[in-house]
Amino acid sequence: MKTILLPFHDEEAGRMALNAATLVAERFNAYLEGLLVRGSPRITFPQGMAVSSEYLSDAARDWRTFADSARGHFKAIAEAKGLPFHELESGDGGPAFAWRELEGRESEIVGAHGRVFDLIVIGRTTSMASWQEVCEAAIFETGRPVLLASSGMPETLGDVIVIAWNGSTETARTVGLGMPFLQAAQKVIVLSIEEGMQPGPNGAELVRHLVRNGVKATAQTARADGRGIGTAIMDEAAALGADMIFKGAFTSSRLRQMIFGGATQFILDHATLPVLLGH
């Protein structure tokens, strides 16, 4: 995990994500890039009505004020965590941060730009309508893992990891993409919720693979007992003292989960621990 992308907003979600991202950067001596995306201006005046240059200037000035504030907070928090400012090409291999501003639709920018990073970190929020659109673009369009940070961020990240194993392709890919976290962890528990399993290898078979890769892993099975699968995963992970969860994203169809609910959608909506998602 040597390069990290963080779509940043100057709000609580952005700061939660930055807290998580700096922990990752410190652990893996990684480069962390804060990304602020400016949406294309939308002018909605009646047809034929002239748009004054003063209006456009005011809009540009407001954006610059917001962007400068966001960059300032990002820089202050990163430097307080001990990360120096370096561009990607000029770093010495240690942890560092930089800042980038791009214009366009945020989900499209993140979906494309994120392909050249090892990890994308996104803060969960209910105050920004587009955040799940950005999160899903990162999951589906980049081919990279997404770390979802929430208000329940522990002081550590990745010391005790619970893999929510259901035998699926998506969870297997998440395990592969997140192997650096697993190899650095003090303890990894492969957790299988019986009612949520799909046809495929069981938890014990995954443990054998992980141990061969130098991961300190054990397997555990639990029953949902009337709980939703997402609730059961969160409950069991908390009981096991986890500070991070691995979860394959949308192992059922995304449309089905949006309409009827599902474990991934529940976790996107309610996660209180950092969750690594892959698809």
Domains, the chain, in order of start with CATH, read 3-41+60-149 (3.40.50.620), 160-278 (3.40.50.620)
Helix, strand, coil tally for the chain in percent (to 5): 45, 20, 35
Rounded distance between C-alpha atoms, residue 24 and residue 73, angstroms: 19
Residue 229: which pLDDT band, with cuts at 50, 70 and 90? very high
Rounded distance between C-alpha atoms, residue 105 and residue 166, angstroms: 34
Q: Please measure the distance between the N-terminal and C-terminal CA atoms of the chain and give it in whole angstroms.
A: 18
Average pLDDT over residues 70-90: 88
268: its two tokens: 């996107």
Rounded distance between C-alpha atoms, residue 227 and residue 87, angstroms: 47
- 146-192 pLDDT, tens digit per residue, is 999 987 777 899 999 999 999 999 999 999 999 999 999 999 999 99
Tell me, what's the pLDDT at 261? Answer: 46
Tell me, what's the pLDDT at 259? Answer: 41
User: Is the predicted pLDDT of residue 260 greater than 50, yes or no?
Assistant: no
223 or 268, higher pLDDT = 223
Helix axes 131-141, 106-113, angle to 10 degrees: 30
CA atoms lying within 13 Å on the CB side of residue 236: 27
Tell me, what's the pLDDT at 106? Answer: 93
Residue 94: which pLDDT band, with cuts at 50, 70 and 90? confident
- 23-78 pLDDT, tens digit per residue, is 999 999 999 999 999 875 555 555 655 555 665 566 678 778 888 988 999 999 99
Segment (H or E) for 266: helix 263-270
Return the amino acid letter for 203.
G
What predicted TM-score, i.e. pTM, was given to this entire model?
Answer: 0.88
What are the two backbone dihedrals, phi and then psi, of residue 191, each rounded to the nearest 5 degrees? -100, 125
Question: CA angle, corner 178, sides to 137 and 27, nearest 5?
Answer: 110
Residue 37: closest CA among 111, 88, 97 = 111
Residue 204: which pLDDT band, with cuts at 50, 70 and 90? very high
Give the percent of the chain with pLDDT over 70: 86
Q: Decide: helix, strand or coil at residue 47.
A: coil
Q: Decide: helix, strand or coil at residue 83.
A: coil
The mean pLDDT of the chain is 87
Q: Decide: helix, strand or coil at residue 25.
A: helix
Query: In the beta sheet, which residues pair with residue 191?
Result: 164, 220
What are the two backbone dihedrals, phi and then psi, of residue 143, each rounded to the nearest 5 degrees? 75, 10
Beta-sheet strand order (sheet of 275-278): 96-103, 31-38, 3-7, 119-123, 146-149, 275-278, 244-248, 160-164, 187-193, 217-222
